[in-house]
Structure 1
Amino acid sequence: MSDWLSAAEVMERLGLKPQTLYAYVSRGRIEARDDEGDSRRRLYRAADVERLRHRKARGRRPAAIAEDAISFGEPVLASAITTIARGRLWYRGQDASQLAETAKLEDVARLLWDCGTQRFPPLFTLVPDGPPLRRIFAVLGERAATDPAMAGRSKKALYLEAASALDSLVDAIAGRPGQGPIHARLAAAWGCDEAGADLVRRALVLLADHELNASAFAVRVTASTRASLAACVTAGLAALSGPLHGGMARRVLALMREAEREGLNAALTDRLATGSPLPGFGHPLYPDGDPRAAALLSAFSVPEPYARLREAVAALTGAEPTVDFALTAMAARVGLPEDAPYLIFAAARCAGWIAHALEQNETGRLIRPRARYTGPEPG
């Protein structure tokens, strides 16, 4: 059997519709890649298809449950920070969409960190030259190499260090040290007017945390070793840099350009016919639509190309936009740089990463799962 299968072969073996194949790919259940012989086709990893075929036969054995839990499955860690319930996102019991109406990222950070109304002093970060992504990794990497570990630190000391780490990240994104609300500092760096700054504020609040996603889990694993908060944030940044996480906005932009080049209906139909994903649409945790996207999209007039894409996808698949689509459309409306969605995501999620690091540190437990060995028989 070939290592890679066509969309038609996958759909035949699993009895899937194109939309369902797309959902499996978007959730990471089936790995896909471009066909080197035909740029318009996608190929799918045969091993993933076979695994899905045999999934029912495995039953609900503990090993199978544990493996499935890693991908949008059963909860694997206790947390009091964030939950997704009744189709909404909640920060310590408060509706994130409602908070986005008036709150600043700093307010949400205090809520997530559970540190009351503690004030944080202004700080100064030396920001190196270079593009934003290089700056943020340089600044946080330097701190990760020098900041003290969390073990044995007082809560007050950790809160001050948390504020310092978030401030350093914002300075690195802005390209210079600054004071004042985080959204205002970022908006000033990008030349936004007051309305644009308020949209940045809303986006930061809506993106501050999202339960146990890939970057938050990476942060918690790092925090479980009692590493420094800066090291934990760096682990989150590394996970966020992947195209299936913080890189999703770039994939939305790629879809927009494809629709511009080939025509909207042709681009969407071709993707669906081959089981290729439609980035920015359909979230497995929000079957009725991503509330973060709804909260952000309601605050501005969506640019016409994005509005047409949204309508066409809804007509073809019924899928609702995710916050990645909303963030990309917002950036287009305000005239932000192409990397701004990722940078907004990083600044916002830093607050959540720190909350997860602090909570994991409180448990005193090392996260050390076991692997289910599938290699050659030992000996």
Structure 2
Amino acid sequence: MRTGSDERYLTTAEVARRLGVKTETVYAYASRGLLRSVRLPGRRGSFFAQPEVEDFAARGRDERPPSGAVERIRTELTLLDGDELCYRGHRATDLAASHAFESVATLLWTGHLADPDPFPVDEPLVNTVRAALAALPDAARTTDRFKVAAAVLGATDPLRFDLSPAAVVRVGRRLIGVLADVLPGAAGEGDRIAQRLAGKLGDRPVDPALLDLALVLLADHDLAVSTVAVRVAASARAHPYSVVSAGLGAVDGQYHGVASTLAYRFLRDAADDPFGALAERQRTGGVPGFGHRVYRDRDPRAEALFTALRGHEAARDVMATVDAVAPGAGTFPNVDLALAALMHAFGLRPDAGEAIFALARCAGWLAHAIEEYREPGMRFRPTGVYTGVRPQR
């Protein structure tokens, strides 16, 4: 049938015949967001726009995920090509050498590389978040504080369910600014995020240029596990603060965001006994801070950060430790080891690497949320394979 807009719609039965499947399969496609069903005034049942059905059919069965599979995620944000990392067509290492974190975050969010205004400082909001954080024990890690801060920020934003790209950018600038400002310690001179964060991670300030470099290099990394969690949350139309909370939850594991803490402990032990520390880690399952699931021969982020660290007198001792253990690790150092070296060079807290990682990745998470909000909702619906006890017939 045709509507007043002259667009033809197909019934569920017609779609099933066109695709050569059962009507139940059409409903399954719709439940996973592979096809969008609509209700038409004065008509019963679900209808599907014929152009969308034809496009779906043209992709072929091999392009459609089988029942229970997660749909392919198409993204314009980050390319992992060989051992190169690119954001929207720009090498991340080139961006890190020439642009501030705010510029790269804006590039990810909007596609435009510019020098934006500093992310806002909102003292009343910072004080509200600090009041909530005061209830946490002193032993709470920085990422725990970020989780609470994201929840408070969401609860205090009456426009949090505005999912338009401009609104998500507004949230990103506000959220990242508050996360940097809410941590205890003295803010550095300047209004950039790296400057505001530089004195809040340890006993002495980090060189803001080094911190800015790390933030850019960690801003996104394609479909890492935390980013998949973010896209699933965004598919359910969770607001941007909840999307960031989903990412923070996934980061809080030994295989993802806390890897720099493990590398930090390794370098601490290796400073006194490089070969003993290597042997102990190899005996217990692997050397933290080496190798990667994606990169084959090198981690470009680690190379860029190590190169910058070698120019600092403060990093002389820790870089000597890195050079001592690297030949015996059996593979290349990754960005977690580089973050750990940065932490040791400036006497940062053991969880500072987690904080840098999480704050940087907020930029990428929100960029992926902007993309996901454009997709059909609830498109991720794997089918479980039940292995438990079945009821008696």
Per the TM superposition, whether the score is higher than 0.5 is yes
Relative to the length of structure 2, the TM-score reads 0.70
Taking the aligned partners of 2:119 and 2:67, their CA distance within structure 1 comes to 49
- Aligned partners of 1:227, 1:109: CA distance in 2, in Å? 21
Q: Give me the whole-angstrom Cα distance separating, in 2, the residues matched to 1:169 and 1:348.
A: 11
Asked whether 1:215 is paired with 2:234, we answer no
Structure 2 letter corresponding to 1:244:
Y
2:220–2:365: 8 Å Cα contact kept in structure 1?
Answer: yes
- How far off is 1:378 after superposition? 4.9
Tell me whether 1:337 sits opposite 2:340 in the alignment: no
Give the structure 2 partner of residue 368 of structure 1.
381
Following superposition, the deviation at residue 237 of structure 1 comes to 1.1
1:198-233 CA-to-partner distances (Å, cap 9, x unmatched) read: 100100000001111111111111111111111111
Distance change >3 Å, CA 279–CA 352, structure 1 → 2: same
**Could you tell me which residue of structure 1 aligns to residue 210 of structure 2?**
199
Q: CA deviation at 1:259?
A: 3.6
Unaligned 5+ segments in structure 2 are 1-64
Task: Classify the secondary structure of the residue corresponding to 1:298.
Answer: helix
- The verdict on how the C-alpha distance between 1:153 and 1:252 changes in structure 2, with shifts beyond 3 A counting, is closer
Deviates more, 1:233-242 or 1:152-161: 152-161
1:296 CA drift (Å): 0.4
One-letter amino acid of the structure 2 residue matched with residue 142 of structure 1: V
Checking the alignment, whether the CA contact within 8 Å between 1:209 and 1:349 is kept in structure 2 is yes
SS in 1 for 2:198: helix
1:288 maps to 2:284: no
Question: 1:37-76: CA deviations, max 9, x gaps?
Answer: xxxxxxxxxxxxxxxxxxxxxxxxx87995xx9xxxxx94
Aligned counterparts of 1:339 and 1:187: Cα–Cα separation in 2: 14
Does the CA contact (< 8 Å) of 1:150 and 1:226 recur in 2? Answer: no
Instruction: Provide the rounded CA distance (Å) in 2 between the counterparts of 1:123 and 1:303.
Output: 35
Structure 1, 338-347 or 286-295: larger mean CA deviation? 338-347
Quick one: structure 1 residues 310 and 371, their matched pair in 2 at CA, closer, same or farther if it must change by over 3 Å?
farther
- Which one has a bigger Cα radius of gyration? 2
Q: Indicate the residue corresponding to 1:99 in structure 2.
A: 95
The whole-number CA distance in structure 2 between the counterparts of 1:89 and 1:287 is 13
The answer to whether structure 1 residue 233 and structure 2 residue 233 are counterparts is no
For 1:9-31, what per-residue CA distance to the aligned partner results, in whole angstroms no more than 9, with x for missing partners? xxxxxxxxxxxxxxxxxxxxxxx
Structure 2 Cα separation of the partners of residues 206 and 146 of structure 1: 31
Question: In structure 2, do the counterparts of structure 1 residues 152 and 198 end up closer, same or farther at CA, with 3 Å as the change threshold?
Answer: closer
CA distance in 2, matches of 1:347, 1:218: 16
The CA RMSD measured in Å over matched residues stands at: 3.0
SS class of match (1:189): coil
2:50 matched residue in structure 1? none
User: The residue matched to 2:183 in structure 1 has which SS?
Assistant: helix
Question: What is the distance in 2 between the residues matched to 1:209 and 1:103?
Answer: 15
Residue 79 of structure 2: aligned partner: 83
What SS is found at the alignment partner of 2:150?
Answer: helix
- Where do 5+ consecutive residues of structure 1 fail to align? 1-61, 70-74
Contact 1:112–1:351, Cα closer than 8 Å, also in 2:
yes
Provide the C-alpha distance between the structure 2 equivalents of 1:198 and 1:284, rounded to a whole number of angstroms. 28
Q: What does residue 156 of structure 1 align with?
A: 166
SS at match of 1:299: helix
Query: Structure 1 pair 153/270, CA: closer, same or farther in 2 (3 Å)?
Result: closer
> What is the alpha-carbon distance in structure 1 between the residues aligned to residue 256 and residue 274 of structure 2?
25
**Equivalent residue for 1:122, pick from 95, 115, 120:** 120
1:300 aligned partner: 309
Indicate the percent of aligned positions where both proteins have the same amino acid: 36
Q: Deviations over 1:105-134 (max 9, x none)?
A: 110111100163565762412241365444
Letter in 1 for 2:120: P
